Amino acid sequence: MNAPETIEGWQAWEVFLQCQGQVRAVGSVVAGLDLNAALTLTRALDYDLRACAHLLPACEMGMLEGLAEQMKSND
């Protein structure tokens, strides 16, 4: 299982889950998470900004990999 192991990991995961609808798109293709929105939420929740700035791109990468796999299976 890939569950977060630290409080900072849980914070980043919570921010990611709350921001899944906040994405950057090129046409109809998702290009990534809107990290500005995610970091704004991180600040609003008073979470560890430095840790989330480091961890959220990894969440974004996983999201993009999952979307790519989904697109591949739909073809």
Would the pTM count as exceeding 0.75?
yes
What is the chain's mean pLDDT, rounded?
92
pLDDT higher at 21 or 48: 48
Own/partner long-range contacts of 7-12 (Cβ < 8 Å, ≥24 apart): 7/48, 8/47, 8/48, 8/51, 8/52, 8/55, 9/51, 9/55, 11/42, 11/45, 11/47, 11/48, 11/51, 11/52, 12/47, 12/51, 12/52, 12/55, 12/56, 12/59
Show the domain range for 30: 15-74
Position 46 in a domain: yes
Residue 7 lies in a domain: no
| pLDDT value at residue 75 | 74
Q: What average pLDDT does range 11-23 have in this prediction?
A: 93
What is the number of structural domains in the chain?
1
Q: Would you state the pLDDT for residue 35?
A: 94
Does residue 67 register a pLDDT over 80?
yes
